[in-house]
Structure 1
Amino acid sequence: MDKFTFELERFSWRHRQKKDMFVAKTRMAALIDSVVVKECYPQSKTFLTGSTLTYLGFHKSDLDLCIFVDPTLGNNCLIQKDKAKYRPHLVKIQKRFVAKFGDIIESTKIITATVPILRIYLNPDYDDLEIDISLHNVPGILNTKLLHYYSSYDIRFSQLAIIVKAWMKTYEFNDSRNGFFNSYSISLMVLHYLQCGITPPILPNLLKLKGSFFDFNNLDNTFFQPIKINPLIEVNKQPISELLISFFDYYTKVDFNKYGISIEKGALFKLDTKHRDPIFIEEPFEKMNTARCMRRRNWKHYVIPMMENTLDSLLEGNNFELKINNHPIKITF
């Protein structure tokens, strides 16, 4: 193993979610469900979502929960316009949470986003953990399930996702509120690249091979149930160092004015003439653009040039420089 590969693997291992944090999050989720949610809604069901289960986040990433409180609310979706009916339920959970755990809470707020969220910030004694609670967000559950099984298929997916997210954070590109990417879009970029950007591919198309397992009517299947996938005919043995360099090369060469990314198809697809976003990453279940927050100016003048600069620097054998919590890290060749 070359030194650069070793250093990248060590970086991803050091900064990924550890088992003790996973256990702490699952215990916190169970406590919230029993002490807060079930007392408000006895027939409710709580799902863990996000990086806690996908293994694509950092050690202190958020705790994401999706709660089904009332069958009459239906299934939340990205094109839904009537978000007001969710707010009273989020307020009810917010008040109960504060009443039960007020001594460990730093602050709370309800965010009226595409999917309304109750955000709870715990105090430093609980590692400043951030908890995001959404309601009836079926696509969020299915996306978590899909990414969980992709992470389980090949460790290089989670390794590369953590490294690319760290690179995005270093240059403040992981910031949807300011017109850049959200973490989910970055994960899908890495997934697409490992399906379509290299030959032979590393990841198969799970939606094509096991579509019913990721169906809206199959939510209750455990995330840890093994699924049998025939191995790819050709095995890609490229190390994470080569994959990282090739990732930047791939994304600086694709014409995203003409093509979008489809995880469902496992391919690029031609965009229609009405497309206006600088990059289109199709959400696997609702088909919306997960990168719709990316502003064209940011993509053209910041993200792409920095990808090109990073690619040139790596090809010249220079250090790969990142920042974690504002602490500079140099990964050397």
Structure 2
Amino acid sequence: MLSSVAASILILCDRLGVLGLCLRDILAEIKPADSDRITRLNAINQFSDYLRSVQSLRGAVVKPFGSFVSNLYTKWGDLDVSVQLDNGLGNSASKTLKRSLLRDIMKALRRYGVARYIHFIPNARVPLLIYEGNHHNISFDVSIDNYLGIMKSKILLWISQMDERFRDVVLLTKEWAKAQNINDPKSGTLNSYSLCLMVIFHFQTCEPPILPPLGEIYGGNISDDVTGWSSISERHIGDVCAANIERFRSRNLRRRNQSSLAQLLVSFFDKFSEVETVASEYAICTHTGRWERIDSNLGWARTSRSMLIEDPFERPENAARTVGPSELRVVSNAFTDAYNKLSSSSVLANRNSLISCLTRSRVSSQLGVRPQVHYTTGTAAIDPAAVLGRFENVMRLDRRSHASTSAVTVSRRANETTYLL
């Protein structure tokens, strides 16, 4: 006869199975089909055709990057494109020239009448032109000579090819974050790149890890190494990354993490459920694959920030620099709310509740679920010292052997399950 703890674990596994089926349905709805990819390629070709009429951009080449290149886009995802200048020098254009060229592109789009919602952002860190195409209904983010963005995208593609669960969790996280209104840097919440880095960090800090520290994939700083960009630079970075990825795979053949997609998503929400308190002292660092104390890095300590997610390709820049104090609380509450719901026996047993918790109405309605209003619940007052104490304990557990860590995790989850049931 099964003990009460063992029975609780079996019940939890069964209900996580329901979650797993829901995640499969959600992914089937949000993943792009071959036709979506072809539509994007046609839109890029059409944009290239428009540029041929711009005298100042003769010889320029349009290159996609971002989530489309890294294969981390949904069927509704935007298109990031970089207009690469043929100046023969291998150096990026000045910011002043980039602004001027983007104005020329904006004039061409208006002349042809092929775009709507045109928005020029000249003073952004990377000058940007945003528009939506009339023909393909795809939103474009256009920049000039964005070598760094192109290389980041390629490395993220190589990372996504290391384990298929990574792409799935990124897509699910993006959909959930949009449903909870925490994926909008313009309003002070997380950008999609930050969410992607948080998933990478989660996969690095699982036991056993699914991904290595990114410093083990490429030890240099991409932002420095793409200066004076050339095809030789790109090939060199690609060769180094490929060799290091293969080394990690060979080293971990017998120690593969067997967590299901449902387990990875629930533990992802758990890991960041108290990020508001932890963020005051720790940075999310995918370069080392560890939580790092902010005061250990002068570049971080001198920066005004509410949340610090280091950009592993542009260290020590903060990928989450747009997040403000009040927005961080909203983000943290969203993670806590998601973890609490996915730890609830009643929610785990109900397909409609699960899908409503994780998706926007456009997705849930396609999956046969009546649209619901999404909101983030408030959380009770917490003791920061207690949270940091628990956080420090989790860090210590992560350093134990796989066997002892698994035993502690199963025991803790079993106790939680017994309580929930």
**TM-aligned CA deviation for residue 106 of structure 1:** 2.4
Q: Compute the displacement of 1:276 (Å).
A: 3.5
Runs of 4+ residues deviating >3 angstroms = 37-40, 70-76, 82-85, 209-215, 217-228, 273-276, 325-332
Counterpart contact for 1:258–1:271, Cα < 8 Å = yes
Residue number in structure 2 paired with 1:67? 83
The residue number in structure 1 matching 2:288 is 265
Aligned to 1:4: 19
What residue is the counterpart of 2:310 in the other structure? 282
Pairing 1:307–2:335 present = yes
- 1:5-58 residue CA offsets vs partner (Å, 9 max, x unmatched): 122133123202222111221232233224415854233232211111122221
Are residues 95 and 275 of structure 1, via their aligned partners in 2, closer, same or farther at CA, if it must alter by over 3 Å? closer
1:264-323 deviation line (CA, Å, top 9, x unaligned)? 2232222124454221111122221111100111212x2212211221221113132133
Q: How does 1:1-333 map to 2 (within 5 A)?
A: 2-37=17-52, 40=55, 41-69=57-85, 71=87, 74-75=91-92, 83-99=95-111, 101-102=112-113, 104-112=114-122, 113-123=124-134, 125-126=135-136, 128-196=137-205, 198-211=206-219, 215-216=225-226, 217=229, 220-221=234-235, 227-228=242-243, 229-230=246-247, 231=249, 232-233=251-252, 234-253=255-274, 255-272=278-295, 273-287=301-315, 288-300=317-329, 302-317=330-345, 318=347, 319-320=353-354, 321-324=357-360, 326=362, 328=364
Moved more, 248-257 or 187-196: 248-257
Higher strand share: 1
* Distance in 1, Cα, partners of 2:72 & 2:313: 19
Which protein is bigger by CA-based radius of gyration? 2
Say which SS state the counterpart of residue 129 (structure 2) adopts: strand
Instruction: Report the Cα distance in structure 1 between the residues aligned to 2:50 and 2:312, rounded to whole angstroms.
Output: 34
1:73-93, Cα deviation, whole Å (9 max, x unpaired): 9437xxxxx744321111112
Tell me whether 318-327 or 257-266 shows the greater mean CA deviation. 318-327
Partner of 1:21: helix, strand, or coil?
A: helix
Deviates more, 1:227-236 or 1:209-218: 209-218
Q: CA 1:327–1:29 in structure 2 vs 1: closer, same or farther (change >3 Å)?
A: closer
Check 1:223–1:303 CA distance in 2 against 1; reply closer, same or farther (3 A cut): same
Question: Which residue in 1 is equivalent to 2:390?
Answer: none
Identical-pair percentage:
24
Deviation at 1:222, TM superposition (A): 12
Q: Describe the shift of the 1:26–1:220 C-alpha distance in structure 2 as closer, same or farther (beyond 3 A).
A: farther
TM-score (norm 2): 0.68
Post-superposition shift, 1:187? 0.8
Contact 1:148/1:223, CA 8 A, preserved across alignment: no
Counterpart secondary structure, 1:282: coil
SS of equivalent residue, structure 2 residue 211: coil
Shift of 1:136: 1.7
Cα 1:49/1:165, change in 2 over 3 Å: same
CA contact (8 A) 2:60 2:86 kept: yes
C-alpha change, 1:119 and 1:261, in structure 2 (3 Å) is same
State how far apart, in whole Å, the 2-side matches of 1:84 and 1:224 are. 31
Residues in 2 aligned to 1:298 and 1:205: alpha-carbon distance in whole angstroms: 28
The 3-state SS of whatever aligns with 2:358 is strand
Q: How far, CA to CA, are the matches of 2:27 and 2:304 in structure 1?
A: 35
Q: Number of residues paired by the alignment?
A: 321
Q: For 2:368 and 2:307, how far apart are their aligned partners in 1?
A: 29
Letter in 2 for 1:59: K
Give the Å deviation of 1:155: 1.2
CA 1:316–1:331 in structure 2 vs 1: closer, same or farther (change >3 Å)? farther
Mean CA deviation greater in 264-273 or 153-162: 264-273
Q: Which stretch of the first structure deviates more once superposed, 267-276 or 136-145?
A: 267-276
Look up the equivalent residue of 1:299 and give its one-letter code: L
Quick check: 1:73–1:136 contact (8 Å CA) kept in 2? no
Computed over aligned residues only, the root mean square deviation of the Cα atoms, in angstroms, reads: 3.1
Gaps (5+ residues) in structure 2?
Answer: 1-13, 296-300, 348-352, 370-421
Question: Per-residue displacement from partner, 1:131-178 (whole Å, max 9, x unpaired)?
Answer: 111012222112111111111111111111111111111111011111
Higher normalized helix content (fraction of residues) = 2
Q: Distance in 2 between matches of 1:161 and 1:245?
A: 13
Task: Tell me the amino acid that sits aligned with residue 292 of structure 2.
Answer: F
